[in-house]
Amino acid sequence: MPPVPTVSGKVVRRVSERYSLAVCPYLTDCEPGHEGAFPEADRPAVMRLLARLHRAAQTVAPQACDFELQNADGLRAAIDSVGEPWRTGPYGEQARALLARHAAGVTALMTAYSGLLP
């Protein structure tokens, strides 16, 4: 679900130089009321969930990203097989034809991208 806009219509609010905040409606039956405030009866539950969220964030290890193209070998194999029929699902043949038309461009972009990596 998309973020809930503020009263001014923005979906992201800057809370410091380093952090921003967006609110997404992941909770069922917990709709903000007038002016974006939760009803008094819902506030304790919201506060417990926020506290739990902040405690969890301290235990989550940051994920390193090497910026490598995911499944590049699979994409190369698909490009190499565009001369054969693809009988994998209802869109296999359409996907094959599309990749066949753009194989040279996709290969060139993959080469250019890999040249950008350290």
Q: What is the dihedral of CA 64, 67, 71, 76, to 10 degrees?
A: -160
Question: 4-50 pLDDT, tens per residue?
Answer: 787 788 888 887 787 787 877 665 555 555 455 667 888 888 888 88
Question: 71-95 pLDDT, tens per residue?
Answer: 999 999 999 999 999 988 889 999 9
Ordered by start, the domain boundaries in the chain are 13-57, 72-116
Residue environment code for 29-58, b if the CB has 16+ CB neighbours within 10 A, otherwise e: eeeeeeeeebeeebeeeeeeeeeeeeeeee
pTM to 2 decimal places: 0.47
